[in-house]
Amino acid sequence: LCPATFSVGGGFRFRLWYVGSSCLDRRTTLPMLPWLVAEIRRRSQRQEPGGAPGSGVPAREVLLLLGWPTLRCVPASPGPAAGPGSPAPAVFIFEHKAQHIARFIHNSHDLTYFAYLIKAQPDNPDSPMACHVFRQTSFSSLFRVCEQ
């Protein structure tokens, strides 16, 4: 599968690694976001007390499915019941409406990681933002995701 593939139904599929997420405190400012992304990255590589190395929540390979109006994150390997190379659309890690994404973030020092901010509860104006972090294997995927 290419980093970005046009899929049936008018959407796009990106094979990425989902590193993790975190809710932002209301006092979080834009200059703080690189530190937040770095903390999410560290958390995915951290060893839990009494656990084996890397026993934190590890990054997992996912397909990010972009279709109007939703963005859906599904496991890259849905299991033996699904056909080869096809994600199980009913099994997903999370789903958002694409128009609720507020900001796209990337680190100019390490272009393999990117993140986006979205309101945790889009219908609630007082809702905190959530930050979702991904790692890509192909630099060109980043620009394709941004364009979408």
Q: What is the rounded CA–CA span in Å between residue 74 and residue 89?
A: 7
Per the structure, how many domains does the chain have? 1
| This prediction's pTM | 0.77
> Residue 110 is part of which domain span?
4-147
Distance set, CA 102 to CA 24, 50, 139 (Å): 13, 38, 22
Mean of the per-residue pLDDT values of the chain: 78
CATH number of the domain enclosing 48 = 2.30.29.30
Banded model confidence at residue 54, pLDDT cuts 50, 70, 90: very low
pLDDT tens, position by position, 73-131: 999 975 555 555 555 555 788 998 888 888 988 877 788 889 999 988 888 888 889 99
Tokens of 60: 């997992």
